[in-house]
Structure 1
Amino acid sequence: MKWWGWGQEGVAFHHHDKPGLAPFAYRMAGIDFNAPPVQVPDLAELDVPASQAPDGLRSALVEAVGAEHVHDDDLTRVVHTYGKSMRDLVRIRRGDFGRVPDLVVYPVDEAQVEAVLRTGLDSDAVLIPFGGGSNIVGSLEAPRDESRPVVSVDLGRMRSVIEVDETSQTARIQAGALGPDLEAQLNARGWTIGHFPDSFKHSTLGGWIATRSSGMQSDRFGDIADITRAVRVVTPKGVVATRAVPVQSAGPSVREMVLGSEGRLGVITEALVQVHRLAEERVILAYFFPDYGSGLRAMHDVAASDAAPSITRVSDAMETQFTMATAKKGSRLSALMSKGVKVYAEKRKGIDLDKMCLSFIGYEGSKEHVARTKRLVGEIVKKHGGFGVGSGPGTLYDQKKFDTPYIRDFILDRGAYGDVSETSSSWATLEVLHDNVVAAANKAFAEQGTQGFVFCHLSHSYHSGACQYFTFAFQPPAEGDGLAVYDAVKHAIQQAFIDNGGTLSHHHAVGREHKPWVGDDLSSAGAQIVSALFQGVDPGRNLNPGAIVD
């Protein structure tokens, strides 16, 4: 990934083929898409702190993984310093590198991971596991005042699907496998893991497990906690290897302890995961609802029905307007708001176009299953005043779903800030939580003297509730620190989650960004139990200290 932004060099967002987007951004937040971009600094011109690795530690790591797999050049170390949160990108572009890792090592198997861990513990070094580097909550950075050597343990060489058990419908996969890596290997054998987070192209199986990730098709396949059946983890106490069984009653679940542990317990080396045969049919259909509340109630009824869609997504009115603004001229998405659709919605259905909300619902499986699910969902959509508009927009959404993060770099280049926060709550609280979060963000914008917008979509449905995913963006005042404004808005949104019955995060994890709300989310006693677990496994605080709890 780029050291200064999201994704690969040479790939970037542009808006010239999306005529509605620049006016929308300027109207809603004063963001000028046509302003000349700020040039990203040349890394060679920035003052990257020198490596502080002792010779003995370097020599021992070279012995463990080989000289060609121990790196201390500036670029490699900077790439491994932070994740990709808004705060990370602002700091790194400013040359505020914090505590840069002294060494980056690339083990190739579990034996080498064990050797690296033993070496790190013997040298009292800090070890931070690294997958794809896409984390956005501060899970990858060392404490800024850390005086001990810091080693980033990159699992990028450990990316193989080891075996597929077709009878049990499971696969053993090394933890460093990026989403495209493991899907390509599984697809070649006719299987899929079915896990597609926004970060899919730049995140790994181990990272998904360490942060309790969810994918876009979790309604069908489950989130990573459901998908992961067993794990292998190198810890200070030895290699933890949980059994490859579907369910067990063997005391507190060690597998569950590893899920979401963010490197505090050890280095995940491989996992046994559920896999599914590639579907006979897969389609995503687009629908419109009269308003967000109608869409939420429809998703509730879908979750309570016999229908089993793979994706349930509904955007609020503001996100719907944003989505329409991103449409290319003459595209299938722009056709959604054609004169005919507007007339049908307004005249025939009595819908206020300013309140109308776009929804995508996915169907996957056998032809019979897809047909039945589409019929059941169609009845529920109609009951709540909605109507379908076909598969064209859904196909486009499916093709472009991993490109959205590039927009954040584009607006940051123009001095604006944008980020995301997500939560889950019960069906009974969803609409009130949505309205109160939007109100809290808008109040924070006003208090900070800035113009901004916030919008949301429901992204994952469950039996008792759903995830809501909020996006916000603003143009900071000409005077002052944009990060201070960002902190105020982000804090207001997170606090509104807690105050309205939500969790601090549905799938982005805790890291350092969300740590202030751990006690509220888990209770004080629960946070103490988590802290005691980390202390018991890693009394020297060598494994990613500072993540989740202090």
Structure 2
Amino acid sequence: MTDLAPLSTPSGESTTPAAPVEHMKWWGWGVPGVAFHHEDKPEFAPFVKNAVGLDLHAAQPLEQPDFGALDVPASIAPDALREALARAVGEGNVRDDDLDRVVHTYGKSLRDLVRVRAGDLPRVPDLVVYPADEDGVQRVVDAAVAADAVLIPFGGGSNIAGSLQPDTAETRPIVSVDLGRLDRVLDIDEAAGLARIQAGALGPAIEAQLNPRGWTIGHFPDSFTHSTLGGWVATRSSGMQSDKYGDIADITRGLRVARPGGMLEVRAVPSASTGPSVREMVLGSEGRLGVITEATVQVHRIPAKRVIHAYFFPNWKAGSAAMQAIAASDVHPSVTRVSDARETGFSLATSKERRGFSALAQKGLFTVLRKRGWDLDQLCLSFIGYEGEPSTVAEQRKAVERIVKAHGGIGVGTGPGVLYDQKKFDTPYLRDFLLDRGAGGDVSETAAPWSRIDGLHDGVIAAAEDAYRRIGRKGWIMCHLSHSYHSGACLYFTFAFVFGDDPIAEYDTVKSAVQQAFIDLGGVPSHHHGIGVEHAQWLPDAISGQGVAVIEGLFAATDPGRHLNPAKITR
């Protein structure tokens, strides 16, 4: 075991203010100074005009919202609670300023951003606390429960399922527990390939601590830059390379969770027969069983070679069939992704202007494909990733490309894959770009057996288009197959439209149509974003009424006072 950092401060919690924890913008994704730009992408404006009817050349982007214009409800935290929390974490680590409280009110879904920009703040946390270690978290939990307050754990703030927002009907004090100071890799068991990591560590911080020692966690969700290990565990996150490394439920072996009166601990073992799995209960629990303080996760040696190749398929069915064949084969790529024709068009439109040989090569390729009889309006772009020793990568690629060829696909090299790898965490900035110009964009994802994938894809698109007709808006929906399994796959949909008079009601119409289509066509409400409040109404369809009763019984038995993030997953 390699000791990397002390488990707690020697003398307990510091009484001085912590170094500021960096948060995302209160009104949008990411940090100030980083944004999506389209000026260097000549095909993007025409694409947007055709897709949703928005003229980017004429649209005047909104200025940064004025925080001072917000009417933030006053904190209702009593002095006794403030004093108890100050004793738990230090006076300077209990905050009640308006900015801190607003930052901790919402996640980053479209609904969240529309509401916070409009100053819709019916209920905000009354206090934000920043414990420095696990002991501090435990003291916060015990103090809050003793005061009959509500606790909401907060990691990076990237959630898009409503898991962070306080219940508007809650009359008790609400405390947001920000885990941002718990950001260390504590130790590595090199023989077992296991790392103990504090729950507040952001994705980049985890890799920055693991990589110099030759390790990687292999978990890279879209939100990687601004999400934490604890958040991944709490929502059963999946990453872009989950085909190889597994999702967070596969990666997580051990857990520590601060609960009223004591610490829940799940030992990090390969497997166990110890009754119903408490580990599985914590995974996806969204704070309703306690505050996750650390997880012991599987880590892997950094591969000697890592490469992503791009492929074109003549249509969606050919691409999805190829992904199914790859999943059924003996090869194990790190990424198996294919976009439908709509998303392929979007991807091509977001490319920078090609010049010289690159432009000629693309034009020549498309000419060849037309001569082969391909309808380029049905073109589907795929990314397949390979990792390992060079010889293994070569063997895997050779086997995959036999499957690609058998399904009518062709390879187009590593250039698009390099660009995809560089820009894979930037997509959320595009949503803010649209929102600044009066349009909304959001995502929904599901999973289903291979036998239902193509029907589900077509049916969800039809449902969204019907919803656009009902609200009288020109809209767009596109999809990619993001994760492959032996029995099925995840389909990840992105939808967008220009707002009318009632953005939230219009969004609800489209979002509900997409989610209901998931259920009607054999999918689930969410593959990796969690349930929160956004997807709770479809939970009985996914796990049955009795399944919901079991979950509600678990929450009622383990949190009878409803202190732990109530009204999430189930009411």
TM (norm. structure 2) is: 0.95
The CA deviation at 1:238 is 2.2
Counterpart of 1:429 (choices 421, 440, 452) is: 452
Counterpart of 1:143 (choices 167, 188, 208) is: 167
> Which region of structure 1 is more displaced relative to structure 2, 523-532 or 24-33?
24-33
The CA deviation at 1:237 is 5.2
Which residue number in structure 2 is paired with residue 466 of structure 1?
489
Structure 2: tracts of 5 or more residues without a match: 1-23
- Secondary structure of 2:376 counterpart: coil
Alignment deviations for residues 238-277 of structure 1 (CA, whole Å, 9 cap, x no partner):
2111111100001000000000000000000001100000
Which residue number in structure 2 is paired with residue 508 of structure 1?
529
Which residue number in structure 2 is paired with residue 47 of structure 1?
71
- Secondary structure of 2:272 counterpart: coil
The CA deviation at 1:75 is 0.7
Which residue number in structure 2 is paired with residue 548 of structure 1?
569
- Trace 1:333-412 onto structure 2 (pairs within 5 A): 335=359, 338-347=362-371, 349-412=372-435
Alignment deviations for residues 484-532 of structure 1 (CA, whole Å, 9 cap, x no partner):
1110000000000000110100000000000100111110000010011
Which residue number in structure 2 is paired with residue 296 of structure 1?
320
- Secondary structure of 1:8 counterpart: coil
Matched, 1:176 2:200: yes
The answer (yes or no) to whether the contact 1:461–1:467 under 8 Å persists in 2 is yes
Counterpart of 2:100 (choices 76, 86, 94) is: 76
The answer (yes or no) to whether the contact 1:33–1:411 under 8 Å persists in 2 is no
Which residue number in structure 2 is paired with residue 484 of structure 1?
505
State the distance in 1 between where 2:51 and 2:566 align: 40
Counterpart of 1:106 (choices 130, 136, 147) is: 130
Query: Structure 1 335/289 Cα, relative in aligned 2: closer, same or farther at 3 Å?
Result: farther
The CA deviation at 1:335 is 4.6
State the distance in 2 between where 1:20 and 1:51 align: 49
- Trace 1:264-343 onto structure 2 (pairs within 5 A): 264-330=288-354, 335=359, 338-343=362-367
The CA deviation at 1:482 is 1.4
The alignment's C-alpha RMSD in Å is 1.2
- Secondary structure of 1:198 counterpart: coil
Q: How many residues align?
A: 547
The CA deviation at 1:307 is 1.1
The answer (yes or no) to whether the contact 1:333–1:392 under 8 Å persists in 2 is no
The answer (yes or no) to whether the contact 2:184–2:198 under 8 Å persists in 1 is yes
State the distance in 1 between where 2:418 and 2:254 align: 34
The CA deviation at 1:336 is 9.5
Matched, 1:31 2:54: yes
The CA deviation at 1:334 is 7.5
The CA deviation at 1:123 is 0.6
Which residue number in structure 1 is paired with residue 9 of structure 2?
none
- Secondary structure of 1:56 counterpart: helix
The CA deviation at 1:109 is 1.1
State the distance in 1 between where 2:361 and 2:497 align: 26
Query: Which runs of at least 4 in structure 1 moved beyond 3 Å after TM superposition?
Result: 331-337
State the distance in 2 between where 1:549 and 1:373 align: 43
State the distance in 2 between where 1:546 and 1:332 align: 57
The answer (yes or no) to whether the contact 2:483–2:489 under 8 Å persists in 1 is yes
Match for 1:439: what amino acid? Answer: A
Alignment deviations for residues 411-462 of structure 1 (CA, whole Å, 9 cap, x no partner):
0011101100000000000000000000000000011100001000000000
Counterpart of 1:212 (choices 206, 231, 236) is: 236
> Identity of aligned pairs, percent?
63
- Secondary structure of 2:481 counterpart: strand
Matched, 1:493 2:532: no
TM (norm. structure 1) is: 0.98
State the distance in 2 between where 1:115 and 1:137 align: 28
Alignment deviations for residues 284-335 of structure 1 (CA, whole Å, 9 cap, x no partner):
0000001000000000000011111000000000000000000001279985
The answer (yes or no) to whether the contact 1:86–1:417 under 8 Å persists in 2 is yes
The answer (yes or no) to whether the contact 2:142–2:261 under 8 Å persists in 1 is no
Counterpart of 2:554 (choices 533, 538, 547) is: 533
- Secondary structure of 1:168 counterpart: coil
Which residue number in structure 1 is paired with residue 82 of structure 2?
58
